[in-house]
Chain A
Amino acid sequence: MRHPLFPRLATAAALCLPLAALLPPPAPTTADPLSLEELLQIEAEIEQVAEHCIQTTVGLIYPNGSGAGGGSGVIISADGWILTAAHCIPKANQSLRVLLADGRRLEAITHGKESGRDFGLIQITEEGEWPYAEMGDSDSLVQDQLLLGVGHADGIKEGRPPVLRLGTYDGTQRGFLRSTCIIEPGDSGGPVFDQNGHVVGINSQIEVSLAQNLHVPVNRYQQNWDRLIASEVWSERGLRNRAGPPRRPKVSLGIRARGNGEAVEVTGVTPDSPAALAGLKMGDLITGVDGVRIRRKGDLATHMLDLESGDQIVLDLRRAEERFSLTVEVMARDDS
C-alpha cells in the first residue's frame, strides 16, 4: 500500500549525505542559510513530489442550494477517502462531485465532521483506484521545516489544476498548525504536505498576517476516524465559538460602508449594483435590515450570510432628515 514515490525519495535522501548531516531530521528547515547545492537538492525533491501533491488534491462541487460554498480536499486512500475541512461540508450524507486535477469529476458523498477543530471526511462513491497521498505525522513537525500547501486558490478555475505553494512550519495556534503557506478562500480543505509528499495538515483558516495560515493537524483525522466514517456530526464543547473559519456572505449589495456603532454609513455605491438599482446613495445611513437594528458592518454581513442571489432585503435608511425603507434584491458576490 506504500506510495511508489517513497522508495525513490528515501534513496534520494540517503544519497544526499551533506544535507542529511547538516540539517536536523526529519526534514530540512530554513532558519539558517543553506548552500546553493542544498537549495538545488531541495528543489529537486519539491519538483519530484509536486505533481503528485497536485494530482491527489480535489475540488469540491456541491449542487446548487446545498448551502455549501465548495472548497478543496485530498484523497488519502486508493478507494477514495477524502480529508477536508468541516466548513466545506454542509451536512453528512450530502452528495457532491469532486474534481480531480486531470479534469475528471467523480460522484462523492460527505461523511462526518467536527466543527470546532474544523475537520471532516468525504468519500468517492464511484468504483475505481484513485491517486492518493499518504498521511504523515503532524506531531513530529519541526520548527521552520518546509511545507507544501495545495488547493483551489480563489475557487476552481477552468483549466487550472490546484495551485502549489511553499511555506514553513511555525508551531501551533489554538490547536491548529500554523505555516507560511499562504492560503485563501477556495483552499479550505486542501492539503499541506511535508517534503516527502505526506499529508500533515488540512487548510482551515487565515488571519490578517500572511504568516498566519492555519491548518488542521492530520493526526486529528486519525484520532477520530471511527466517528468520521460513521458520518457523525459534532462539535467539541467550548470550541464552537472559538475556532472555525470565517464565513462570508455569498451575496452582495454593492456598497462600501463603515459602521459607527449607531448605524452603518454608505461610503460608496457600485454602479450597476443592486444597491445602485434600489437608489441607495453615498452618505445614506443604514439603521436596520428586515426589521433588525443595524449598528455595525458586521451586523449587516451577519444578516446576509445565509442569503442566496435573488433574495430581497428591506433596508431602513436615514438620508438627511428623511427616514425611509428600500427593498434591495441581493446578487451573487462578484468574486473578481
Chain B
Amino acid sequence: MSTSARLARVCLLLTPALLAVPWAASHLLPDGQSGLQESFRPLSAPVAEAVAVVRSSDADGDLRVLGTVVDGDGLILTKASEVGDDPVVEWADGRRLAARLVAIEDDWDLALLQVEADDLTAVAWPPAEVDDLQLGSWVLAVGTEDEAMRVGVVGALPRRIPTATPGFLGVFPGDHDRGAQLLEIVPGSSAEVAGFQLDDVIQSINGKRVRSALELVRILRRLDPGDDVEIVYERDGNEQEVVVVLGQKPREEQRSSLGSFHVADLVRVNHRRDRFPAAFRHDAVVPSRSVGGPLVGSDGALAGFNLARLDRAGMLAIPVAEARMVVERLKDEAGL
C-alpha cells in the first residue's frame, strides 16, 4: 500500500507540532540565496528606502502589507484589498504616519494612500520607453530596509490572469421537488443582499433549470465573482425573479479544506490573486503580507510591483509601465 504510506509521510509533515519547531520555521524561506542577496544589495538598498509597512484592520483582524512611496509628497502605492480601516504607514526608522485612502483601481487591486509629509524618498520611474521584461531576467523583490530582499527570475511574461475562484452566492441548498431549497444563507453574502429568504426554492439560473441542490452548486462553480446572474425562484408558491451580482468566497473559506490538503497549501496566499489585466510571474517569493513592494531589475531600475503571492512557487507582478499609468489615473481621479 504505497499510497497510504506516502500519505502518512505527508500527514507527518502537516503536524502542527512539527511546524512549530524553530529549525522548520527558519527553513520556510528557500535558503541558498545569501550570496545572491549580498550581491544585489547595492541595487536594492536605495529602493528599500521607498518601501514602508502599511498596517490597518478589518473585520477579520489586523492587516499588514507593503507600500511603495511613488511621490515624495506623501503618495504611497499599495495592494487595495489588503488595506482596511485607519491605515498607518511605518518606515524602518520608526516613523509612523496616519494615511488616508485616496483612490482604488480594482482591475489591478491597487490603492493610492496619502500621508502628511513632503520629505519622503520615492522610487524613481524608469524612462517610459524602457521595456525589457524578458523571460529569465533577474528580479529583486525589495522589502523595507530591515526586511530581506528576495532574488528570482521572470518565469512567465505578462498575461491576463483569469478568475481563479468561482462566484459565491452564499447559500446552503437542499434538494426540493421543484429545485434547490435554501436551508441557510450566509450573512453578508450576495444571496442575503439580494433578499433571499430561508426556504426559497431556486428553480433556474440564467435560464438553466436547477433540479437539485447539487445542480445549483455545479452551475455556480462555473460562474465568476462579479457576474450578474438571473435567478428564478419560488417563495410561498409564487414564482419570482431577481438579478444577483455574485461575490467572492470570504477569506476564511479560502484555506485548505480536507479534500485539498497538500504541503503546497501550507503557503499563505493573497485573497485577491487573480483577475489582473496583464501580470507577469516571478519566483522572488515574499509572504502574502509583504506584497505591494517594488521589483527591481539587474540594471537597478524599477521593474514592477508585487500584486500577489499566488502559490508556493510564485508571485504575480504588474509591469512598471502599467503601474505608472495606474498611478497617474489614480492621481487624476483624486484631483492630485
By a beta-carbon cutoff of 8 Å, the part of chain A in contact with chain B is 29-36, 38-40, 43, 46-47, 49-51, 54, 115, 144, 148, 153-154, 158-161, 163-168, 170, 180, 182-185, 187, 206-212, 235, 240-242, 244-249, 251-257, 268, 270-274, 276-277, 279, 296-298, 300-302, 304-305, 329-331, 333-336
Of the stretches B63-71, B103-111, B164-172, the one at the interface is B164-172
Residues A298 and B11 in contact in the complex (CB < 8 Å), given A208-B28, A209-B27 = yes
Within 8 Å of chain A (Cβ to Cβ): is B10? yes
Query: Chain A residues near B251 (CB, 8 Å)?
Result: none
Of the stretches B32-40, B48-56, B237-245, B320-328, the one at the interface is B32-40
Question: Is A301's CB under 8 angstroms from B264's CB?
Answer: no
With the chains together, A208 CA to B9 CA distance in Å? 11
Nearest A residue to B29, CB-CB: A210
Question: Is B8's CB under 8 angstroms from A271's CB?
Answer: no
Query: Chain A residues near B18 (CB, 8 Å)?
Result: 208
Contact of A336 among B3, B165, B313 (CB under 8 A): B165
Q: Measured between C-beta atoms, what is the minimum distance from A163 to chain B in Å?
A: 4
Secondary structure call for the B interface: mixed
Residues A272 and B217 in contact in the complex (CB < 8 Å), given A163-B313, A185-B264 = yes
Question: Is A163's CB under 8 angstroms from B156's CB?
Answer: yes
Within 8 A of A (CB), among B4-42: 4-11, 13-14, 18-19, 24, 27-36, 38-40, 42
Query: Chain B residues near A330 (CB, 8 Å)?
Result: 259
Question: Is A247's CB under 8 angstroms from B6's CB?
Answer: yes
Nearest A residue to B16, CB-CB: A258
Query: Chain B residues near A276 (CB, 8 Å)?
Result: 172-173, 184
- Sample 21 A-B pairs with CB under 8 A, ordered by A number: A34-B39, A36-B42, A36-B298, A153-B313, A154-B310, A160-B156, A160-B159, A164-B135, A180-B32, A187-B313, A206-B263, A206-B264, A206-B312, A209-B24, A211-B31, A235-B2, A241-B2, A268-B252, A271-B170, A298-B8, A336-B164
Question: Is B32's CB under 8 angstroms from A30's CB?
Answer: yes
Question: Is B283's CB under 8 angstroms from A246's CB?
Answer: no
Contact of B259 among A31, A166, A252, A279 (CB under 8 A): A252
Nearest B residue to A212, CB-CB: B27
